[in-house]
Structure 1
Amino acid sequence: MRRGVWWRKSAGQSVWMLGMGVVAAGLWAGWLGGTESGPYEVWQVAGLVLSLLVVVCWAAFRRRVVAAVAGTTAGLTVAAWCDWSDDSTGLFVVGVALVLHGSLFATALVSTLVRYVAPGPR
């Protein structure tokens, strides 16, 4: 590897991760934001999952598996924390932990499958 090239690769990966996090948090706000009371509707959660599926698959197809997993997980976790942190019981932390673990598992599974099944750019 040439001298000085390593930082471009790591900077590009960081930009991808940040972008995936912003997209994930934005999708959370778009699909689940604005609910004043009560649980989320099924169509809201399904819309979020399907939207994220498209974005994660696209990033994995572009060989950005780490960014797809880490960025999406971080974005969803931060969005859940911000959305639920006004809970006075403190139980929102359990929900945030479930979002973190669930999104980490799901994005890792989907990204890995897409990356090794679909012929992406080399």
Structure 2
Amino acid sequence: MVTRTRLIHHLLTTLALTGLAVAAWAVWLGWDQQRDQHPDGSTTGPYEAWQVIGLVLTVLAPVYWAAARGYVPAAVLGTTAGLAGAAFYDWSDDASGLFVIGVGLIALGTLAATGLVSGLVTSWKLRARLEPGY
């Protein structure tokens, strides 16, 4: 049975992870809006690989923390909602409307990655609890 206190902890953890994901997006990606023009006329960007890697590593720590404490739904849903919401806000000025596809891909990728990380952390914690020497 889920107690009221546990439910409140889940809700607060979900909200905190949502806020952390939005803040991480702003820090790593939100400031970079310029596409890079190459000598051949092609454009890339606006994000560099190091920015995306930094974002992933930044949100990985709170996801691990939450999953290790049994807040798996909060880890998955909070982070996914935060990154998808930040992407929606950041990209919504695209007149073509194709940004919605990108936001959907961000949401699906984040859902899959946080679900995988949370599952691995939970299984490691369970195994450590069942096998004292592990």
Counterpart among 114, 119, 124 of residue 112 in structure 1: 119
Q: Which stretch has the larger CA shift, 31-40 or 84-93?
A: 31-40
Q: Please say if 1:83 is aligned against 2:90.
A: yes
Q: What one-letter code is carried by the residue in structure 1 that aligns with 2:27?
A: G
Deviations, residues 2-56 of structure 1 (Å, cap 9, x unaligned): xxx8322212111110000000110011100111222100100000011111121
SS in 2 for 1:54: helix
Q: Distance in 1 between matches of 2:72 and 2:34?
A: 36
Q: Distance in 2 between matches of 1:78 and 1:66?
A: 17
Q: Distance in 2 between matches of 1:59 and 1:8?
A: 16
- Matched with 2:8 is 11
Matched-pair identity in %: 49
- TM-score (norm: length of structure 2): 0.82
Q: Distance in 2 between matches of 1:107 and 1:63?
A: 14
Higher Rg = 2
- TM-score (norm: length of structure 1): 0.90
Q: Distance in 1 between matches of 2:91 and 2:73?
A: 27
Deviations, residues 75-111 of structure 1 (Å, cap 9, x unaligned): 0010000000000000000000000000000000001
Give the count of matched residue pairs. 117
Q: Distance in 1 between matches of 2:31 and 2:97?
A: 21
- The answer for unaligned runs of 5 or more in structure 1 is none
Greater RCO structure (CA 8 Å; 6+ sep) = 1
- The answer for unaligned runs of 5 or more in structure 2 is 36-44, 130-134
- Matched with 2:102 is 95
Q: Which stretch has the larger CA shift, 61-70 or 110-119?
A: 110-119
Q: What one-letter code is carried by the residue in structure 1 that aligns with 2:87?
A: A
SS in 1 for 2:14: helix
Q: Equivalent residues in 2 for 1:42-81 (5 A)?
A: 42-81=49-88
- Matched with 2:42 is none
- Matched with 1:20 is 17
